[in-house]
């Protein structure tokens, strides 16, 4: 009986695997651009969320669509990303994106470099801050593809893909941030 009580207590005290609390997720098309506005509470420490968002080489662990992510050896402010994107599982292609990074405490801005990317415009702005033992996150993505999107069913599929990808990405950011925080706790208690 004591073992069952201990196991039940351990399960109840274990943080939820995905406590991501979405306050806003709006994905829309504005002319030829797609805009994602996302605000959420992540049940993970803000310093670890920031560390995960700035760990560019490990982006493929956060999103299975990211095949490669690396900073330019000669210019550490440039990020090269290769993605395999599918719109609704119908149209798939590998895309290259080169972005200029601007880091500051609690914020990250990535601006696509046209001519080196498969987008004619891209701006990603992420902000995070500690709140109630977790992290308040605000994310905005504005992107204009430099490839053909089928006019009738392409935009709704792009919107759905961006919505699902955003949710999946930040659920993984929360998970990895918690794993890192747990690792820090365990190494400091040794």
Distance separating alpha carbons of residues 60 and 42, to the nearest angstrom: 20
Q: What is the pLDDT of residues 47-97, one digit of tens each?
A: 999 999 999 999 999 999 999 999 988 888 999 999 987 766 667 889 999
- Looking at every residue in the chain, the average pLDDT score rounds to 87
Region at 88 (left for phi over 0; alpha for psi -120 to 50; beta for the rest): left
Q: What is the pLDDT of residues 98-136, one digit of tens each?
A: 999 999 999 999 999 999 999 999 999 999 999 999 999
* Domains in the chain: ranges and CATH: 18-189 (3.30.530.20)
Q: What is the pLDDT of residues 139-148, one digit of tens each?
A: 999 999 998 8
Q: Are 143 and 119 in contact (CB under 8 A)?
A: yes
Is pTM, for the whole model, over 0.95? no
Region at 51 (left for phi over 0; alpha for psi -120 to 50; beta for the rest): alpha
Distance separating alpha carbons of residues 179 and 22, to the nearest angstrom: 20
pLDDT number for residue 153? 83
């Amino acid at each position: 009986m004591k073992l069952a009580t201990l196991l039940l207590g351990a399960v109840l005290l274990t943080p939820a695997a995905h406590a991501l609390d979405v306050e806003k997720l709006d994905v829309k098309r504005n002319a030829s651009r797609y805009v994602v506005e996302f605000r959420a509470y992540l049940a993970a420490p803000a310093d670890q969320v920031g560390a995960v968002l700035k760990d560019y080489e490990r982006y493929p662990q956060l999103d299975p669509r990211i095949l490669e992510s690396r900073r330019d050896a000669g210019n550490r402010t440039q990020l090269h990303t290769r993605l395999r994107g599918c719109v609704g599982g119908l149209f798939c292609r590998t895309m290259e994106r080169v972005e200029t990074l601007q880091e500051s405490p609690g914020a990250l801005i990535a601006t696509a470099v046209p001519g080196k990317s498969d987008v004619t415009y891209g701006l990603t702005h992420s902000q995070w801050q500690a709140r109630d033992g977790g992290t308040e996150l605000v994310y905005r993505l504005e992107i204009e593809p430099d490839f053909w999107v089928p006019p009738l069913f392409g935009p709704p599929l792009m919107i759905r893909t961006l919505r699902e990808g955003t949710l999946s990405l930040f659920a993984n950011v929360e998970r990895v941030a918690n794993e890192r925080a747990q690792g820090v706790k365990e190494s400091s208690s040794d």
